[in-house]
Amino acid sequence: MNEKKQKKAAGDGIPGKPGPESPPVAEPTTPRDPLPPKADQSAPEPYSPTGAPTDGDRGRSAQRGAYLTTAQGNRPYDSDHSLKAGRRGPVLLQDHHLREKITHFDHERIPERVVHARGAAAHGVFRGYGSAEQITKAAFLGEDVETPVFVRFSTVLGSRGSADAVRDTRGFATKFYTTEGVFDLVGNNIPVFFIQDAIKFPDVVHAAKPHPDREIPQAQSAHDTFWDFVTLHTEATHHTLWNMSDRGIPRSYRTMEGFGVHTFRMVNARGETTLVKFHWKPKLGIHSLVWEEAQISNGMDPDFHRRDLADAIEAGAFPEWELGVQTFPDNEEQSFEGIDLLDPTNIVPEELAPVQPIGLLTLNANPTNFFAETEQVAFHPGHLVPGIDITDDPLLAGRLFSYIDTQITRLGGPNFAQLPINRPHAPVNDMLRDGMHQTAVHRGTAPYRPNSLDGGCPFLAGRDEGAYIEVPVDLPAAKKERGAPASFDDHFSQPRRFWLSMTPVEREHIIGAYTFELNKCHETAIKQRALQVLANIDAELCQGVARGLGLAAPDPDRPLAAVEPSPALSQLGRQWPVEGRVVGIVADEGCDLDAVRSARGSILDAGMVPLVIAPAGGALQNGSTQPVAVQRTFATARSVEFDAVLLAGVTGPGADAYGARDAKAADPAAPADAASDPRVLLLLGEAYRHGKAIGAWGGAGRVLQEAGVPEDAAGVVVGDGAGGILDRVFALLASHRVWDRFPAGA
């Protein structure tokens, strides 16, 4: 092509003036008002680099104006074609828009958290009850004081893209944006930890993460290095036992307890101190998956917990937890009833020290942007407010160092407290200056104190109102040494208490979990060592697992601890609210759709979520009634999503159901007992095995037989009409599962 033709084909070279063959320029979208600021982000006003305040949206809605711009605010006329020497020629290096766009993209990812990489978060509010005022002067715990919060839940072991329903500990980290500065309660859903001293943290994490040669398995503890570590460091026994219990596979983030793990020290207005352990108690109760459900969910919906949390909040079913404390006298030994409070492998049974409620957490808003909020949030157990202080737990000491250190790498420098999600809602005047990603334009000339140039500002708080007052605790006369107190040597009495507190079903699940995990190990020596650890907890546990491994059960190598069970540790035996539960209704066009509609209404009235499961998407209609919208199809539904399953009554000759009728329509010669759709039978079989309530009415009971579900089994309710069975199904849901069906090897 000659030069003249080339110029014509590319337009006449004037930006914005398309040539005859140029692609159409997209219309800019209409400008719209910026999003209103969120209450929990009404943090200090950021200033633009010129020192002028940013627009009224406080920097929340990062994008302004109707036109696409470069990062410098220049408006490109084309964002879809690189600048080339001729349409088929080489791309020119001088195309700044191309280079800026790609360069920014190249740096979009930041390092994931070294642990707790996979998380989901929500905004909310915390309201103090005032009941803690006797023991702490923390303002946010005052009566009816409302404090914005941001809570991030996480798994520990998996990468950012790993599945949710793995067997693991869950993080439960809460940032309180109090008027006295940020307080972070960086806890877990398990009240004890694997190790007693932070110096072992890299070791336990290296052992639990995927093997360094093949980088497998992902997000699992079921492998040799994990079990090698936890059987060589028997202080890990208690935490491991909790992981192998149902606590390791929560039903939802909304149905987990949370724990501060360490003992903290509270200080009241009179300077008196009390030792405390923090507990989060979920209003919906403590519920778990069964192992097979967890495995199914990791394939069919790896975002199971993330989706559940976001959906519930979007639907207005705001999850709530009560914050509570166990309190202990701040004695010289730092122990209570013989339990060392500085040993993070210990709990104090609630029967010995009841949990006293001090406030209510409500999560009521999903994040606007995952990266900006959930990914960039930075918690730190040393973010404390006046009235809450630390103790000498050696694990906590290491954490106080570790979090800020890792965040400097993860968030690219020391200024991450200026990121919107991390900004305190209290005024900040920190005299910290410069550094990577400094976004504040600091004023004044004297970033030191005392000074005589900036009016002496900033000033120091009075000793009574300030943070980080070291409580003047006497330290024992000591010499430097590497070691732990003798009380840290008891690794088995607390696990034995946990085991003895479990119901038979929960014990069966624990045996199943150990058996599964250890059967995934290759080294027999590790399995044998694990059995020795179990023998030191309880013979029934050890023998049950040994049977599953095909190995001999050893005798304990020390006397078994004499401990009382703590019934509060069991998840069973209580009735819980049914709000937010998901009920699946299997139906097709041969069903009485009026009855389906009325069942949906009753489920909604009870505060639960009805989902209609049908052969195809869209709506069910059969002429005589209004259509019924379909939310799941036989192909997309799996039992794990539902807390109960209903089979809608079928009408018509022979009461064929769910596929059988279709089979006959396709082939009139099909036998009269043509089978229902196998996916419905699978759904029912799983729901039955997993202890879910099942209801069927109006002839649909026949499908139960096909699925191998006995009509007279516990938790299976069959009746003539929907009305008669719904109340009974709802009553079953209050116990979470039909426990009478276990142990069934699930």
Which of 58, 97, 113, 702 binds ligand HDE (CB under 6 A)? It is 113
Which of 10, 83, 98, 114 binds ligand HDE (CB under 6 A)? It is 114
CB nearer ligand HDE, residue 117 or residue 530: 117
Interface segment toward ligand HDE; rule CB under 6 A; list 288-296, 392-400, 586-594, 663-671: 392-400
CB nearer ligand HDE, residue 97 or residue 262: 262
Catalytic residue (choose from 97, 123, 188, 239): 188
188 is catalytic: yes
CB of 629 to ligand HDE, least distance (A): 37
CB nearer ligand HDE, residue 184 or residue 641: 184
Write the DSSP symbol of residue 112: P
265 phi and psi, to 5 degrees? Answer: -115, 130
| Interior angle at CA 538, CA 533 and CA 544, nearest 5 | 90
Contact present, 341 and 334 (Cβ < 8 Å):
yes
**Which string of DSSP letters, residue by residue, matches 366-433?**
--S-HIIIIIT----TT---TTEE----HHHHHHHHHHHHHHHHHTTSTTGGGSGGG--SS-------
113 is in an annotated binding site: yes
Asked whether position 376 contacts ligand HDE by CB under 6 A, the answer is no
By beta carbon distance, the residue nearest ligand HDE is 171
CB of 735 to ligand HDE, least distance (A): 30
CB nearer ligand HDE, residue 154 or residue 571: 154
509 is catalytic: no
Question: What's the 3-state SS for 334-382?
Answer: CEECCEECCCCCCCCCCCCCCCEEEEEEEEEECCCCHHHHHHCCCCCCC
CB nearer ligand HDE, residue 61 or residue 402: 402
First-to-last C-alpha distance (Å) of the chain: 72
Which of 77, 403, 516, 739 binds ligand HDE (CB under 6 A)? It is 403
278 is in an annotated binding site: no
Q: Residue 726: helix, strand or coil by DSSP?
A: helix
> How far, in Å, CA of 603 to CA of 145, rounded?
35
> How far, in Å, CA of 281 to CA of 129, rounded?
15
CB of 355 to ligand HDE, least distance (A): 17
CB nearer ligand HDE, residue 149 or residue 725: 149
CB of 209 to ligand HDE, least distance (A): 12
| Interior angle at CA 692, CA 155 and CA 710, nearest 5 | 145
Q: Taking Cα atoms as reference points, which of 638, 505, 659 lies closest to residue 582?
A: 638
152 is in an annotated binding site: yes
Tell me which residues in 29-68 interact with ligand HDE (CB under 6 A): none
Tell me which residues in 134-163 interact with ligand HDE (CB under 6 A): 152, 154
Catalytic residue (choose from 97, 116, 239, 305): 116
Tell me which residues in 236-265 interact with ligand HDE (CB under 6 A): 261
Interface segment toward ligand HDE; rule CB under 6 A; list 329-337, 403-411, 549-557, 699-707: 403-411
Interface segment toward ligand HDE; rule CB under 6 A; list 78-86, 357-365, 374-382, 547-555: 374-382
Q: Collect all residues with Cβ–Cβ distance below 8 Å to 33 and sequence separation of at least 6.
A: none
399 is in an annotated binding site: yes
Residue 210, preceding bond cis, omega within 30 degrees?
Answer: no
Asked whether position 422 contacts ligand HDE by CB under 6 A, the answer is no
CB nearer ligand HDE, residue 189 or residue 639: 189
Tell me the angle at which helices 593-605 and 722-733 cross, rounded to the nearest 10 degrees: 30
CB of 274 to ligand HDE, least distance (A): 20
Which of 128, 148, 171, 512 binds ligand HDE (CB under 6 A)? It is 171
- Residue type (1 letter), 193: F
Asked whether position 406 contacts ligand HDE by CB under 6 A, the answer is yes
Contact present, 632 and 642 (Cβ < 8 Å):
no
Beta-carbon count within 10 A of 209 CB:
22
Binding string, 182-201, against ligand HDE, x = CB under 6 A? ----xxx----x----x--x
> How far, in Å, CA of 121 to CA of 309, rounded?
8
> How far, in Å, CA of 375 to CA of 118, rounded?
9
CB of 394 to ligand HDE, least distance (A): 8
Q: Tell me the CA distances in angstroms from 254 to 129, 288, 702, 731, 733, one per residue in order.
A: 21, 11, 36, 20, 16
Catalytic residue positions? 116, 188
Binding residues for heme: 113, 152, 201, 399, 403, 410
Binding annotation: 113, 152, 201, 399, 403, 410
Which positions lie near ligand HDE, rule CB under 6 A? Answer: 113-116, 119, 152, 154, 171, 173, 186-188, 193, 198, 201, 261, 377-379, 395, 398-399, 402-403, 406-407
